[in-house]
Chains A and B, each alone.
Chain A
Amino acid sequence: DSGVTQTPKHLITATGQRVTLRCSPRSGDLSVYWYQQSLDQGLQFLIHYYNGEERAKGNILERFSAQQFPDLHSELNLSSLELGDSALYFCASSAMTGNQDGYTFGSGTRLTVV
């Protein structure tokens, strides 16, 4: 157990639907990062939050949004889902903003869009 909790582990949904992925960072970590991993695109950075504030955005689609709450957990919302959104979605956390000690990753949410 890495200390980063992601729920749900698996999600199957239909095209056009909306889903919410949840992440609880490791205790004491203020930074949360979201990544998408697919076979053709590899690991793509989506977004970074630090202590509730958005700090960096990557290749995140407009249909996707995220937020970090006061208790530091984060949610990634994916809407108007397409077949191509099927992927593993990872959340990672770190103590600070920055990468001084590496990230701690959760076990991921496998999203299948049918």
Chain B
Amino acid sequence: SQQGEEDPQALSIQEGENATMNCSYKTSINNLQWYRQNSGRGLVHLILIRSNEREKHSGRLRVTLDTSKKSSSLLITASRAADTASYFCATDAKGQGAQKLVFGQGTRLTINP
């Protein structure tokens, strides 16, 4: 089963608006990462937040992590048409031994011009 579950599954907004995507997970983690995937292409790493961090920024991206609720959010501010893509959260769960990332099902974001 997927460790991360994104919400919503699909989001459509106007260019210039902010987009917020949420991710919930089930087990304790070492870190949580967000990736972007343009249609049929490879995934691109956006940002990593460690379990002892609560918020992180990178350009127009803001990620929060609440380990007590086992949830994270990704905020994209001032959205652009080029932000249209699928966004995935991925968790590096504790106690996995050899680490691997487990991905959620993703949020499909559409930015309308």
Contacts and interface: CB of A to CB of B under 8 A. Distances in A.
A89 to B, nearest CB: 11
A48 B43 contact: no
A98 B99 contact: yes
A25 interface: no
B71 interface: no
A55 B98 CA distance: 5
A103 B45 contact: yes
Interface string B34-56: 01000011111100100000000
Contacts of B42: 2, 4, 90, 105-108
Contacts of A56: 96-100
Nearest to A98: B99
Contacts of B88: 43
Interface residues of B, number: 25
Contacts of B2: 42
B33 A88 contact: no
Contacts, number: 68
A104 B98 contact: no
A106 B42 CA distance: 6
Contacts of A107: 41-42
Interface in B79-113: 88, 92, 96-106
A82 B69 CA distance: 40
A108 B41 contact: yes
B41 A99 contact: no
B45, B88, B103 — which one has the most chain A CB atoms within 10 A of its CB?
B45
B20 interface: no
B106 A105 contact: no
6 contacts: A45-B100, A50-B98, A99-B92, A99-B99, A102-B35, A103-B43
Interface of A: 2, 4, 33, 35, 42-43, 45, 48, 50, 55-56, 58, 88, 90, 92, 97-108, 110
